[in-house]
Amino acid sequence: MSAAVDFRTCPLCEATCGLRVELDGREVRSVRGDPDDVFSHGFICPKGASLAELHADPDRLTTPLVRRGGELVEAGWDEAFEVIEAGLAPILADGDRNAVGAYLGNPNAHTLDGAIHLRALLKGLGSRNIYSASSVDQLPKQIAVGLMFGAGLAVPIPDVDRTEHLLVLGANPLASNGSLLTAPDLRGRLRRLRERGGRLVVVDPRRSRTAELADEHHFIRPARDAHLLAAIGHTVLTEGLADPGRLAGLSSGLDTIAELLAPFSPEAVAPDCGIAAPEIRRMARELAAAPRAAVYARIGTTTQEFGTLASWLVDVLNVITGNLDRPGGAMFPLAAAGQSNAAGEPGRGRGVRLGRWSSRVRGLAESFGELPVACLAEEIETPGEGRIRALLTVAGNPVVSTPNAARMRAALSSLEFMVSIDCYVNETTSLADVILPVPSPLERSHYDLAFYQLSVRNVANFSPPALPLRDGMVEEWRTMLRLLGVVTGQGPDADTDAIDDLIALEAARRETVTAGSPATGMEPEAVLAKLGDRRGPERVLDLLLRCGPYGAGLNGGRGGGDEVALSLGALERAPHGIDLGPLQPRLPEMLRTPSGKIELCPEPITADLERLQASLGCTNGDMVLIGRRHLRSNNSWLHNLPHLVRGADRCTMHVSPADAARLGLDDGARARVASRAGAVEIPVEVTDAIMDGVISIPHGWGHDAEGNRLRVAAEHSGVNSNLLADETVVDPLSGNAVLNGIPVEVAPA
């Protein structure tokens, strides 16, 4: 068979790089960057290049597994669904929908099935016990922007390509390739920022790869970012440097910010941050003086005890310096499909609704339909009405990814029934009663519904499947709909086409009642009829594209002349994607707050400043633990690919030379690290790239769990840093787990 070339978007991280995949039948000959991709222009990282290994990985599941005699053994799809029906139906028959919970992993944000049909499955499940990786990641940012701008994905994105001053906290985009910031080749973009005379300032307890590239780097004590941001805001306001410009008229609460930040002078926070007050003042002055500047913060600032406050303060600074919503500042993307603040009446909305219910045991608040995963284990363990007796996991590995991993593993082991949709038998799915496999990334279509909403440039790119499904494989959305049949009492043989029609009809109905949509006023059935005979998530995507801000409409009549007229068909004819241009100012149109203003001082957030003030002068421990990322890791799930784990052991503990000498730790020897939650032993790496009083251990490792079927990963096991994370400590506003700034004791092993 001759070679074929497929152009597709990499589904592995937020950067959405274009790939050029050379295929020989079902074999992948090569994966390279697509030089013609309108967004990534040929950039590729080692993870993208490993797509061939992922496709060919012999440990990747291609058939369902069911537990028989204690062992997971291969089974047919019908048999697997009979076991699921037998496991779930009696629990649901007891009448408590909350008895079946769900945990959703990060990869769901990267698939159409996870974005569209999984939602329908969760709705059918009707449980309040929904958890996801969001609450060990970005949830505080979503809550902050939800309260400020009215939508949970209304995250201001640093306009990296045009800014002249970028202040980065707790983020390492050279390793992560961008997070809540979709931008291929961030190394190149940041290098160009400096080449045009711009300034890159990085604040991090580690001198990360991004910090090495920066003009200046400041060590900061973990979990003291909110203190620093408040002091920068204090300086800007007290020194008369604030210049919000047109944002003043678009914001409410601007007048009270100075009073709220009054306790946080640079002199007050300097001892906590470990940054001298004059340095903080200089950082503030330079930020305010830059003609175009942006503040950007990520995981080090969200997975910590002041996560929501820090996330809020980032955008307070962007507002008071006048940099929000202007080129070179922090801007709002306008995605082609599925963006809640691009549909309906512009400039006003009902805002976000948080805390509609609380967790049963600890009373942690719901947000965006989910409860914080820090309370999942106790919701399984604690008897009483509403206890989780069965769990569905979809592309999730909570045993590695969530706090107090040992307790989580024990809790999952105690479930009456567990079913997982996943591509591997890993630390979590090895505990399931049934595992349902998913197609290879090359056997499924791809469109980044979520990440184009966080993109540094407006872009749309659709990838049809490169290969037909292998024999015996089932599209993931059909698997989800069969599960939906089970949890809604239709049984395992429910008609998935009929359910799919209902999902598409509901999406069409929503468009018919959305102001400004080309479907407004039409009958939903008539809308569907316009979409032809597509099925599954692609049909809904076509609808969203047609009715979106660049849409072709439903009659193909919109967008004449030079205007872009998007539909799925149009994207199919553009294999390198369609560039929709640089970000444009979107205020006030993008606001969805009830007031129609930027809510600069949301009460739940400003009330928490008291806690921030109370922490002044309080240490969070003699030694504290933070995480770290690596370019060749992607949370817990790509360590079975030889290309990504070769080379020196990456799962080591970084410690400063002074701390190593003080604690008797030798480079290359092993250390014992203990916290309230647990203890691990890990090789020591002494480096001056970490500040005194801090150790760093990467997350996503610990692949030596019993039952794993990850042969390569097992040889590079590493240790699970979440054995140390304390599930009882959360950011109170979001319930997000505290994974940075964990007090630990460190000694030679």
By C-beta, is 13 or 645 nearer to ligand SF4?
Answer: 13
Q: What is the nearest approach in angstroms of ligand SF4 to the Cβ of residue 431?
A: 28
User: Is the link from the previous residue into 492 a cis peptide, with omega within 30 of 0?
Assistant: no
Q: What is the nearest approach in angstroms of ligand SF4 to the Cβ of residue 177?
A: 4
- 387 contacts 99 by C-beta, under 8 angstroms: yes
Q: What is the nearest approach in angstroms of ligand SF4 to the Cβ of residue 95?
A: 45
Q: What is the nearest approach in angstroms of ligand SF4 to the Cβ of residue 631?
A: 8
CB burial of residue 342 (10 Å; 0-12, 13-18, 19+): buried
Q: Which two tokens stand for residue 219?
A: 């060590």
Q: What is the nearest approach in angstroms of ligand SF4 to the Cβ of residue 33?
A: 7
H/E stretch holding 712 reads helix 711-715
Q: Which two tokens stand for residue 564?
A: 């872009």
Amino acid symbol at 315 = D
Handedness of CA 520, 526, 530, 534 (dihedral sign): positive
With vertex at residue 213, the alpha carbon angle to CA 208 and CA 217, rounded to the nearest 5 degrees, is 60
End-to-end CA distance of the chain: 56
Which stretches of the chain bind ligand SF4, using CB under 6 A? Answer: 10, 12-13, 15-17, 44-45, 47-48, 177, 184
Cα–Cα distances in angstroms (integers) from residue 626 to residues 104, 304, 382, in the given order: 24, 10, 30
What span, in angstroms and rounded, lies between the C-alpha atoms of 19 and 43?
9
By C-beta, is 275 or 423 nearer to ligand SF4?
Answer: 423
Q: Where are the alpha helices (DSSP H) in 116-224?
A: 117-125, 139-149, 173-176, 186-195, 209-213
Q: What is the nearest approach in angstroms of ligand SF4 to the Cβ of residue 17?
A: 3
By C-beta, is 182 or 367 nearer to ligand SF4?
Answer: 182
By C-beta, is 16 or 721 nearer to ligand SF4?
Answer: 16
Q: What secondary structure does DSSP assign to 546-590, as a single string? A: HHSTTB--SSS-SS-TTS--B-HHHHHT-TT-EEEEE----TTTT
By C-beta, is 20 or 592 nearer to ligand SF4?
Answer: 20
By C-beta, is 478 or 699 nearer to ligand SF4?
Answer: 699
What span, in angstroms and rounded, lies between the C-alpha atoms of 647 and 641?
13
- 545 contacts 336 by C-beta, under 8 angstroms: yes
By C-beta, is 51 or 61 nearer to ligand SF4?
Answer: 51
- 38 contacts 461 by C-beta, under 8 angstroms: yes
Residue 323 DSSP class: -
Q: What is the nearest approach in angstroms of ligand SF4 to the Cβ of residue 16?
A: 6
By C-beta, is 53 or 378 nearer to ligand SF4?
Answer: 53
Q: Which two tokens stand for residue 743?
A: 């007090």
Pairing verdict, β 71-74 and 65-68: antiparallel
Q: What is the nearest approach in angstroms of ligand SF4 to the Cβ of residue 113?
A: 18
What span, in angstroms and rounded, lies between the C-alpha atoms of 510 and 720?
44
Q: What is the nearest approach in angstroms of ligand SF4 to the Cβ of residue 35?
A: 14
With vertex at residue 504, the alpha carbon angle to CA 498 and CA 510, rounded to the nearest 5 degrees, is 140
By C-beta, is 34 or 379 nearer to ligand SF4?
Answer: 34
By C-beta, is 33 or 274 nearer to ligand SF4?
Answer: 33
Q: What is the nearest approach in angstroms of ligand SF4 to the Cβ of residue 53?
A: 13
What span, in angstroms and rounded, lies between the C-alpha atoms of 242 and 302?
26
- 686 bridge partner residues: 655
What span, in angstroms and rounded, lies between the C-alpha atoms of 292 and 271?
30
Residue number closest to ligand SF4, CB atom:
48
> For residue 650, how many other CB atoms are within 10 A of its CB?
17
CA count, 13 A, side-chain hemisphere, 162: 17
Q: What is the nearest approach in angstroms of ligand SF4 to the Cβ of residue 131?
A: 25
By C-beta, is 31 or 436 nearer to ligand SF4?
Answer: 31
By C-beta, is 175 or 694 nearer to ligand SF4?
Answer: 175
Helix (H, G, I), strand (E, B) or coil at 649: coil
**692 dihedral zone (left: phi>0; alpha: psi -120 to 50; beta):** beta
Q: What is the nearest approach in angstroms of ligand SF4 to the Cβ of residue 441?
A: 10
Q: What is the nearest approach in angstroms of ligand SF4 to the Cβ of residue 600?
A: 34
Q: What is the nearest approach in angstroms of ligand SF4 to the Cβ of residue 12?
A: 4
**655 dihedral zone (left: phi>0; alpha: psi -120 to 50; beta):** beta
By C-beta, is 48 or 170 nearer to ligand SF4?
Answer: 48
Residue 64 DSSP class: -
Q: What is the nearest approach in angstroms of ligand SF4 to the Cβ of residue 632?
A: 10
By C-beta, is 31 or 284 nearer to ligand SF4?
Answer: 31
By C-beta, is 21 or 373 nearer to ligand SF4?
Answer: 21
Residue 76 DSSP class: -
C-alpha gyration radius of the chain: 25
